[in-house]
Amino acid sequence: MSQENVDGSIDFVIRSSKEEDKENDFNVKYRQHQKKGNGLFYKSFVQNLSLLKSQKQLASYPQFVFIDKFTTLRKPQIKNKSWNQWDTYLGIINLVCLLIFYFSLVFSKEYPNEELYDQFIFNQNQGIIEDIIVLNSSILCPSEYESLFNYNWPGTSVGCDCTQKLSPSEISSQAVFTENFKKERQCEQSELQRGCKTMFEIKEKSLILLNDNNYSKPFLLCAKRNQNVSLRYNFTYCQLENKTICGSGEQTYCLPPEVECPITEIGFNTNFDNQNSKFKDNPKLGKSFNVSNRLQFYYTKNQTFMPISQIQITETEAVCKLNSQNNISPNRSDYYLMKIQRKNCQENDTQFKIVSRINEDQFYLANNLLYLNRSLSYFKTNSSIIWSLQTKSYTQIKDSCQFGSEDKISQYEQFIRKIDLEDYRTLRQVNSFLIIPILLLILKFFHLEIEDIDLNKLKTIKRSKIIVLLTLRFVKLSIHLSISALVLNYDLKLSQYIEHFTDFINSQCIVTELASNIYDFEQLSDSVLFKVSEVLLAIIVQFFFCLYFLLQICKILPIRRLNTQRQISEHEFKQQNQQNNQQNNQQNDQSNNQQRRIANRFYKPTQVIPDRESEDSEDAHIREDQNNNQFQEMGQQK
C-alpha cells in the first residue's frame, strides 16, 4: 500500500474517533443545558446539524444520523391525538345533567298562592276608622271619607239568545241551552230573522247602597279612615311618652298622641230610644243615625274589642276564606252572561262577624239593578237569598313578637314586609346566573391547540405558552367552583328563609287567626329526589372536576418554576462556543501532529501489500478516497 493510502486510512480512523468524541460531548452538553431549562444550546446544535444536512453530507456519516435521531426525540412534541374519550363522554353527561338541573331549579318551581298572605298584610295595613256618617240623598262620599263597603258587580258580556223556541226541558239541558245561547258575540242577520235577540253588554258597577230591607229610600254609609295610623305599628306607638291607650286587658293597644280610639263595632237597631240615650250620656262611645222610619245605624268605640279593619258585603252568611272571592249560595249559579261566574266557597273566613242582613231583591233595588230582571232573559233576583254585611277586626299580634330595633327588625315586621319571600325571589334570580358557567362548559368543548401540549414535555415549551395553559386550567377550575358555590348558596339560603318563616308561624305571634293557613312556605322546599341530585351533581361531580383540573395545575407549576430560573444569554453562549472552538482547534493541531508521528512509524518503503482479488476491493478504495475528500472539505468549512 502506498504512503498516501496509509495516511488516508489512518486519517479516517482518527476522524471517526474524533467525531464520536464530539457526539458524546454534544450529548453531554445538551443534557446539561436541558436540565437547566436552556434551549439556546439545542437551537445552535440544530442549526449546525441543518447546515450539514443542506450540504448532503449527513447521510455518509452514521454518527450524525444517530445524533439527528437523538435530537429529534428531544424536540418539543405536540400531541396530535384527540381528547380522551372518557373525558369527553363524562363532560357531555355532566353538561346535560347540569342543564336539566338548571331548568328544574329556575323554571319548574311555582310559588304558592300569596293571596292569603297579601290579605293578612292588607288587614294589618288598613288605616283605623275614626268616624262614620250616613247620607240619604247622595251616592258620593265627601272628601276624607270613603264608602264603608264596596261590592264589585262584574257586569255582563254581549250575547245572542236563540232560546225563545226551546221547550222547558230543552232549556234545562246544558248542552242544548249553550248551543242556542251564544256568548261574546251579537246575533247575525240570519239569526235575527229567526227571532234571536241580541243581549248587549252591561258594564260593571259598584254596589255601595243599602235600604231598610223594606223598599225604603237607599242610604250611603261613609267612613273616615286615618291612613297614617295602623295597628301594625302598635309597638312603636307604645314606646312614645305621650300616647293614646285604647282597649283593655290582652287587647290593649297604643296609638299616637291626639288620636282618638277608633271604631270597634257597627250595627243596626230598631230601638231608637235605648241607643240614643246610651250615646247621649257619653258621646265619645259612639253615634247613632236614623236611616229610615224603621231602622237606625250606630257605631261604638267599645273598649273591649279590637278596632274594625275590614267591612265586606257578600251573598250568604259567610265570607270566603280568600276575601277577594265573592260567595254564592249552594246549588245556585250565576247568570249565563255574567263576566265572572261565582262559586260556592268551601272554606270561610271565621274572623268576619255579621252586622246586618238584607234580601237580594232589596239590595239590587237599592243599587238600581232590579230592572235586569226584565231586560235580561234568565236573570232573576231571589227575595229568599240573603246578603250579609260583615266586619273583621285587626288580626291581633303578641307584643313580644313586635319587639325590634333599628339594627334588627322584629319577626313580625320581617313577616309583614315579606322579607324572606322577597329574598327567596332574589335567590331564584341569582340562580338564573348559573347558566353562565354552564355556557362556559359548552365553550370548553371547542378544542384549542394549546391544550394539546404534552405536560411531560413542557420543559422545552415557551414560557408564554405555559402561562396561557395555566390560565385555561384556572378558568375551567373556576367554572366548576362557581357552579358548586351557587348551588350551595341556594341550599343554605333557602333553609334559612324557611326557618325564619316557620319560627314566626310556630311562635303563635298571631293570636286571632290560624297563622299556618296564611302562606305555605314549605311548598318552596325541594323534594328528596331533587336534593339527592343536587348533592350528586352540583357538589360531588363538580368537586371531582375541580380536583382534576387542580392536579393538572399542580403538574404544570413545578415546570413553570424551573423555567423561571436564570438562563444563559445568547452572548454568553457565543463566548463559550468560541472558547470551545479554540480548544477544539488546539486539539486538532495536536491530533495532526500525532497523525504524522503514526504515519512515520507505520511507513515502510519495502513493504508490499498484496493485491486483493475480491470483487469489492476496488469499491473499497473508492469509498476510502471519497471519505477522505469529504472529511477534508468538512475540515476546511469549519
Indicate the DSSP class of residue 541.
I
Indicate the DSSP class of residue 134.
E
Distance, in Å, from the CA atom of 212 to the CA atom of 269, rounded to the nearest integer, reads: 11
Degrees (nearest 5) of the Cα angle 612, 618, 621? Answer: 100
Render pLDDT for 522-572 as a digit per residue (tens, 0 to 9).
Answer: 777 776 667 777 777 766 777 777 777 677 666 655 444 434 444 444 555
Distance, in Å, from the CA atom of 225 to the CA atom of 143, rounded to the nearest integer, reads: 11
Indicate the DSSP class of residue 513.
S
Distance, in Å, from the CA atom of 474 to the CA atom of 463, rounded to the nearest integer, reads: 17
Q: What are phi and psi of 130, to 5 degrees?
A: -95, -25
Render pLDDT for 277-305 as a digit per residue (tens, 0 to 9).
Answer: 667 667 678 888 899 988 999 999 877 78
Angle between helices 3-35 and 617-637 (to 10 degrees): 50
Render pLDDT for 175-194 as a digit per residue (tens, 0 to 9).
Answer: 999 999 999 999 999 999 99
**Cell 262620599 -> residue:** 141
Render pLDDT for 441-475 as a digit per residue (tens, 0 to 9).
Answer: 776 665 444 454 445 555 555 666 667 667 777 77
Distance, in Å, from the CA atom of 472 to the CA atom of 375, rounded to the nearest integer, reads: 79
In 375-514, beta strands by DSSP E: 386-393
Domain spans of the chain?
3-75+593-637, 85-118+405-563, 127-157+201-393
**Of 362 and 282, the one with more pLDDT:** 362
Distance, in Å, from the CA atom of 355 to the CA atom of 132, rounded to the nearest integer, reads: 15
Render pLDDT for 411-448 as a digit per residue (tens, 0 to 9).
Answer: 888 888 888 888 888 888 887 888 878 777 776 665 44
Instruction: Give the pLDDT confidence score for residue 305 in this predicted structure.
Output: 84
In 184-247, beta strands by DSSP E: 197-199, 205-207, 209-210, 219-226, 244-246
Q: Which pLDDT band holds residue 323 (cuts at 50, 70, 90)?
A: very high
**Which range (31-40, 504-513, 579-588) has the least confidence?**
31-40
